[in-house]
Amino acid sequence: MELESFSMCSLIRFFTNVSFTTLCFSLAITTILILTLKRPCLPKMNKFLCSCETCQAYLTSSWTKNFDNLCDWYSHLLRNSPTKTIHIHVLRNTITANPENVEYMLKTRFENFPKGRAFSLILGDFLGRGIFNVDGESWNFQKKMASLELSKSSIRSFAFEVVKFEIQQRLVPLLLSKQNRVLDLQDVFRRFSFDSICKFSFGLDPMCLELSLPISDFALSFDLASKLSAERAMSVSPLIWKIKRLLNVGSEKKLQKAVKLINILAKEVIRQRRKMGFSNHKDLLSRFMTSVNDDNYLKDIIISFLLAGRDTVASALTSFFWLLAKHPEVESRIILEAEEVIGKNKNGDKDYLTSFEEIQQLHYLHAAAYESMRLYPPIQFDSKFCVEDDVLPDGSLVKGGSRVTYHPYAMGRLEEIWGWDCYEFKPERWLKDGVFCAQNPFKYPVFQAGMRVCLGKEMALLELKTVALSLLRSFHIQLLTPHNRNPRFSPGLTATFSGGLPVKVRQRQREQPRPTPPI
Annotated binding site for heme: 454
Q: Helix 363-375 vs helix 457-474: angle between axes, to the nearest 10 degrees?
A: 110
Closest CA to 267 of 294, 243, 248: 294
- Any residues with CB less than 8 A from the CB of 217 and at least 6 apart, and which? 261, 265
Contact between residue 437 and residue 430 where contact means Cβ atoms under 8 Å apart: yes
DSSP state of 505: E
Amino acid 122 reads I
Distance CA 481, CA 501 (A): 8
Output the known binding site.
454
Length of the chain: 519
Cα separation, 167 vs 192, in Å, equals 8
- In the sheet that holds 502-507, the strands lie side by side as 183-184, 502-507, 475-479
3 touches 42 (CB < 8 A): no
HEC per residue, 154-203: HHHHHHHHHHHHHHHHHHHHHHHHCCCCCEEHHHHHHHHHHHHHHHHHCC
Answer whether 475's CB lies under 8 Å from 507's CB.
yes
Total Cβ atoms within 10 A of residue 185: 25
DSSP 56-108: HHHHHTGGGGT-SSHHHHHHHHHHTSTTSEEEEGGGTEEEE--HHHHHIIIII
